[in-house]
Amino acid sequence: MRADRLVATLLLLQSRGRATAGELAAELEVSVATARRDLEALSSAGIPVYPQPGRGGGWQLVGGARTDLTGLTAEEARALFLLVGSAHRGSAPGDAAGRALRKVLQALPATFRAHAEAAADAVGVDPLAWGSSPDTGEPPGLDVVRLAVVDRVALRLVYMDHAGARSERTVEPWGLVDKDGVAYLVAGTERGRRTFRLDRVVAAEATGRTFERPSDLDVDDEWIAVVAEVEERRSGTWATVVVDRRWVPVLRTQFGRHLREVDAAPDGRARVRVADPTPLDLARHLAGWGAMLEVEDPPAVRAELARIGSELVRLYAAARTMGSTT
């Protein structure tokens, strides 16, 4: 888990004072590229970790080696728990990441713990994807949103919806959720709870106005409700599909949590269930598979596939005839 590595990386730097990405990679049993990404993540989040170029260089904590975390400032402690706090909040009692983060929390000065705990409560992780999502990298306004969530400061957002239309709105940021690499903001608005994909936030600005979160608010519970609403919209039509077992992981990447394995077909292939909002949506997503899979039901999806196939035959039949005569 990345949370384990980030904490372990920080503690290793504190004990050694300086280490190269290669040394950390060997110690943590990860690739050098992964170790370097973790170091850069700590640095960009505000933890005082910096590279020292030249012979004998490496990465080190400003101020040299430390034996505990009491040298962290309030801002640095908050930054650390924004990165890995979700593991602390949601971990089981015996979980390694949870144990490490609880030790980190106890090592902090008492005056800083409130900042760290607020950061831990403000972030969450949902590893299940909604189908395949492009890797867009870290959203440009993420740092602004993170601080606003922890400090409970209202945000002015310029937001672009799925159709490309832009709007401006003021929201009260309640929490952040990382869903398989895509960041979402759960926020309060004049019309109740709303969820925003951060890669669609064109601009984010703190208004300076503070707010009080609802006393009974739990970001995890709010996110569960968000997922339930989205699932209901996205799974209006289910289809039974028979496909070679080796292609099930590919289908799972395409449909995410909207794929359920059912049983084995008589010929040894896998029978799975996949979902989309409408029969047309399902047919569009399955048409590219051609004869590699077979849709058993419902008839509406089979009819849409037949219609799409007929349209393609009519559109490209002339091109195929021309190709055969050249």
Residue range of the domain that includes 261: 235-325
Residue 71 belongs to some domain of the structure? yes
Greatest Cα-to-Cα distance within the chain, rounded to the nearest angstrom: 82
Whether residues 241 and 209 fall in one domain = no
Number of structural domains in the chain: 3
Residue 134 belongs to some domain of the structure? no
3-class DSSP string for the chain? CHHHHHHHHHHHHHHHCEECHHHHHHHHCCCHHHHHHHHHHHHHHCCCEEEECCCCCEEEECCCCCCCCCCCCHHHHHHHHHHHHHHHHHCCCCCHHHHHHHHHHHHCCHHHHHHHHHHHHHEEEECCCCCCCCCCCCCCCHHHHHHHHHHCEEEEEEEECCCCCEEEEEEEEEEEEEECCEEEEEEEECCEEEEEEHHHEEEEEEEEEECCCCCCCCHHHHHHHHHHHHHHHHCCEEEEEEECHHHHHHHHHHHHHHEEEEEECCCCCEEEEEEECCHHHHHHHHHCCHHHEEEEECHHHHHHHHHHHHHHHHHHHHHHHHHHHC
Name the pTM for this structure: 0.50
pLDDT at residue number 309 = 93
Task: Kindly report the CATH number assigned to the domain that includes residue 105.
Answer: 1.10.10
Task: Kindly report the CATH number assigned to the domain that includes residue 275.
Answer: 3.30.70
Residue 202 belongs to some domain of the structure? yes
pLDDT at residue number 140 = 75
Residues of the chain with pLDDT under 50: 1, 64-68, 86-95, 97-98, 111
Is 304 in contact with 283 (CB distance < 8 Å)? yes
* Nearest one of 148, 196, 140 to 168, comparing CA atoms: 196
Q: How many CB atoms lie within 10 A of CB 243?
A: 21
pLDDT at residue number 103 = 55
pLDDT at residue number 89 = 45
Residue 300 belongs to some domain of the structure? yes
Residue 137 belongs to some domain of the structure? no
Q: What is the CA radius of gyration of the chain?
A: 25
Mode of pairing for the β-strands spanning 166-179 and 123-126: parallel
Whether residues 171 and 276 fall in one domain = no
pLDDT at residue number 119 = 58
Q: Positive or negative CA dihedral for 62, 67, 72, 77?
A: positive
231: Cβ contacts below 8 Å, ≥ 6 apart: 257
Task: Kindly report the CATH number assigned to the domain that includes residue 158.
Answer: 2.30.30.520
pLDDT at residue number 48 = 77
Residue 136 belongs to some domain of the structure? no
Whether residues 100 and 24 fall in one domain = yes
Whether residues 116 and 148 fall in one domain = no
Whether residues 7 and 115 fall in one domain = yes
Whether residues 265 and 187 fall in one domain = no
pLDDT at residue number 168 = 93
64: Cβ contacts below 8 Å, ≥ 6 apart: 17
Whether residues 93 and 176 fall in one domain = no
The CA distance from 98 to 90, in Å, is: 8
Residue 12 belongs to some domain of the structure? yes
Whether residues 177 and 267 fall in one domain = no
* Cross-strand pairs, 179: 126, 182
The CA distance from 181 to 194, in Å, is: 20
Residue with tokens 């896998």: 270
Whether residues 82 and 118 fall in one domain = yes
Whether residues 174 and 115 fall in one domain = no
pLDDT at residue number 213 = 81
